[in-house]
Amino acid sequence: MQYLSNVLFLILLIVGFAFFIKNVKKLIRNIKLGQQVNRTDRPADRLKNMAMVALGQSKMVKRPIAAILHIFVYVGFVVINIEMIEIIIDGLFGTHRVLSFLGGFYDILIGTFEILAFLVIFAVVVFWIRRNVIKLKRLNQKELDGFPKKDANTIIYFETVLMCFFLLMNAADFYLQNLGYTHYTTVGSFPVSQYIAPIFNGMNPAAVALVERAAWWGHIIGVLAFMNYLYFSKHLHIILAFPNTYFANLNPLGEFDNLASVTQEVKLMMDPNADPFAAPAENATPAKFGASDVQDLNWVQLLNAYSCTECGRCTSSCPANQTGKKLSPRKIMMDTRDRLEEVSKNIDTNKGVFVDDGKSLLNDYITTEELWACTSCNACVEECPINISPLSIIMDMRRYLVMEQSAAPKELNAMMTNIENNGAPWQYNQMDRLNWKDEN
């Protein structure tokens, strides 16, 4: 029976990690659908940025209540999962609390795990109240209707159940240790679960041992299920926050990149020896200005889309959104991810090749009204806790509208015409610019 349990545990572990690796490979493939961009420069600054923003949570502290609660959950999950090492060893070899040889340090570990588990439960309960009872505005906007709202609550339930399984397992273990039942020798420190243990008073020790085993299995199954649910959830940021902050744009926020295709066109115009009528290279694809679909965005922008936490800090700080405009930077990222997933399913269906489905990110997901509502103030980029840039996607799609479709708003077209003809945004001839001084 013992060996059967070990074999079942091994099978569960293999299946859980195999499915996870499969989804990680798909995730990497989808991100690589984006255009190339070099983000390998300044490695020391990138490591510092990742350490400060992803690991140190430096941008979370702007909203201290949410920051403290998030730190409880973040640190709790990272630290508590250290015990997964012991659970895996015990599951594979049939041992029980194999790391107890660490003595006093083991007591400190288990005690720390329990306190953190309690803090995680406290934090996620507050998160649930903020979302479903208080209904904070930024957590209850239109783009969160349907699956996004269910996803957020599902994660809260997941986290609560996992921590409850952990504490229940320890409570039963503590109770059996005090009884000296079979292999439950006195090890560990249980500052929280010792107050749960009295619920087993009067129960048959064999029944308590069954509860302990059920909670142990529930915890490991829950962890593997949670790990594989991440791919479909906004909580993928648990993993992607680190590469996302490492590969973030380190240039000043107001500095926009030049399109290589435009730079090439300008060089040809400025080169007196260039032949504008020269035939293009064989099989050469004409350069596309801007982006109309996810494949036109660069791979970092696609990584941004998968990393989005849907926290809404970007949207709540957006001046266009605050004045009633349709734009929501959070929706821009969610739409980009949804379209990328649609493209991914298309590729899977068609054996690794994307077949044109007649859709695009522009118009089918993101409207021109949203794009032109943006003031390009960078508030959304500044507020994002993991350095996502909705603005870069907006600007690339604007570029497409202007340079590929000549579809800018009439006010912008008038301004560009004035710049072309008069060298300034105003509809005045250069010779008339100083006329104002003669008015008095």
DSSP line for 262-273: HHHHHHHHH-TT
- Quick check: 204 and 122 in contact, CB under 8 A? no
By the 8 A CB rule, do 360 and 293 touch?
yes
CA–CA gap between residue 170 and residue 192 (Å, rounded): 9
Q: In terms of CATH architecture, what is 260-274+287-422?
A: Orthogonal Bundle (1.10)
CB 407 within 8 A of CB 363: no
Alpha helices in 96-146 (DSSP H): 104-132
| Structural Rg of the chain based on CA atoms | 28
Average the pLDDT over each of 82-96, 186-200, 253-267, 339-353 and give the range with the smallest value.
253-267
**Residue 298: what are its φ and ψ, rounded to 5°?**
-85, 165
Average the pLDDT over 363-376 and give the result: 95
**Cα–Cα distance, 260 to 211 (Å, whole number):** 63
pLDDT tens-digit map of 13-53: 999 999 999 999 999 999 999 999 999 999 999 999 999 99
Q: What angle do CA 378, 383, 384 make, to 5 degrees?
A: 105
Alpha-carbon torsion (398, 403, 405, 408), positive or negative:
positive
Task: Return the DSSP state at 280.
Answer: P
Per-domain residue ranges for the chain?
A: 2-31+63-246, 260-274+287-422
Strand-pairing partners, residue 298, are 35
Q: How many CB atoms lie within 10 A of CB 346?
A: 15
Mean of the per-residue pLDDT values of the chain: 90
- d(CA 276, CA 288) in angstroms, rounded, equals 18
pTM for the full model?
0.88
Q: How far apart are CA 215 and CA 289, in angstroms?
A: 56
**Token pair for 300:** 């970092």
The confidence score (pLDDT) of residue 281 equals 56
pLDDT digits (tens, 9 = 90+) for 73-117: 888 877 887 888 899 999 999 888 888 888 889 999 999 999 999
Average pLDDT over residues 227-248: 94
End-to-end CA distance of the chain: 103
Question: Is 70 exceeded by the pLDDT of residue 260?
Answer: yes
Residue 280 pLDDT level (bands cut at 50, 70, 90): low
Q: Residue 146's Cα: distance from chain center in Å?
A: 19
Question: Do 84 and 223 meet the contact criterion of CB atoms below 8 Å apart?
Answer: yes
DSSP assignment of 37-76 equals ----S-HHHHHHHIIIIIIS-TTGGGSHHHHHHHHHHHHH
**Tens-place pLDDT, residues 134-160:** 999 889 899 999 999 999 999 999 999
CA 166 to chain centroid, in Å, comes to 26
Confidence class for position 277, pLDDT limits 50, 70, 90: low
Residue 418 confidence (pLDDT) above 90: no
Bridge partners (DSSP) of residue 362 are 366
User: What gap in Å lies between CA 299 and CA 287, rounded to an integer?
Assistant: 17
Distances (CA, A) of 317 to 65, 138, 235, 304, 382: 17, 10, 22, 18, 9
Mean pLDDT, rounded, for 195-207: 95
pLDDT at residue 425 greater than cutoff 70: yes
3-class secondary structure, 28: helix
CB 186 within 8 A of CB 106: no
CA distance 398 to 386: 24
What's the average model confidence in pLDDT over 386-405? Answer: 94
Largest CA distance in the chain: 103
Measured CA to CA, the distance from residue 215 to residue 92 in angstroms comes to 17
Tallying the residues shown for the chain, one arrives at 440
Residue 367 burial (CB < 10 Å; 0-12/13-18/19+)? middle
Q: How far apart are CA 146 and CA 143, in angstroms?
A: 8
Give me the DSSP letters along 190-221.
-TTGGGTGGGGTTS-HHHHHHHHHHHHHHHHH
What pLDDT score does 2 carry? 61
